[in-house]
Amino acid sequence: MLKVLVSDDHQLFREGLAQVVSRLGHEVEITPAGTYPETVTAIASGPRFDLVLVEWNLLPTAEGGGIADVVRRAGNVPVVVVSAVNSRGGAPSDTDRARVELLTHRQRDVLALVGEGRSNKDIAEALGISEGTVKVHVGAILKALGTANRTQAALIAIDCGIAAFPHDTSRARRA
C-alpha cells in the first residue's frame, strides 16, 4: 500500500491532489494535512509515508518551519512540492476565456465561489439560493467549461480572474 501525506491549506486542492494520487493504480492511503503543524505532526506520529506532497506556499508558524523543515523531518521520504497556480501555467487559454464568457451571470457568481474552495452549502448561503440550485449550476458550469471536476473549474476561475487564489487576500474580480 502506498502511503501519501497530502499537505495543502486549501481543502479543494487537497482533495484534487488526493484524486490524482489515487489514480496511480496502487492501493493508496491518503493522510490529509491542512496546516504546517498538522503536516509535521503527521510526519512525526503517523504511518511511515512513501511520499509527501506539500504545497509550495506552506506557511511556517511562529515557531518556525515551512517546507525546508518538512523536508528535514521527512528524512528519506521523497517530498514533492506542488503549486496549483503553476499547474496550468497561470494564464487562461482563449478557449477557457470564451467558455467563461458564455456562462450566465449567476453561473459566474457560483464559479467564483467554487474557485475560492467554497462548498455547495456555503455558496447557497452566500448567494441566497438553495443547495439544489447550486448543484444544478455547478453541473452546468462543469459541462460548459469542459471540466471533469470542481478542482479543474476552480483553476479556470482563478486563471480567468473571477476568483482569487486562496493565498491572495485581495478581492476576487468579476468577469
User: pLDDT digits over 95-147, tens only?
Assistant: 888 889 999 999 999 999 998 888 999 999 999 999 999 999 999 999 999 88
CA 115, CA 95: separation in Å to the nearest integer?
A: 18
Task: Tell me the β-bridge partners of 29.
Answer: 3
pTM listed for this prediction: 0.48
Identify the weakest region by mean pLDDT among 21-35, 119-133, 160-174.
160-174
Q: For residue range 70-91, what is the model confidence (pLDDT) as tens digits?
A: 888 888 889 888 765 534 445 6
94-159 folds as Arc Repressor Mutant, subunit A (1.10.10)
- The helix-helix angle for 150-159 and 131-145 (nearest 10°) equals 70
Q: Where are the domains of the chain?
A: 2-82, 94-159
- What letter does residue 61 receive in the DSSP assignment? B
DSSP for 115-166, written as a single string: HTT--HHHHHHHHTS-HHHHHHHHHHHHHHHT-SSHHHHHHHHHHTTSS--T
CA 93, CA 60: separation in Å to the nearest integer?
A: 34
CATH 3.30.2270.10 at 2-82, yes or no: no
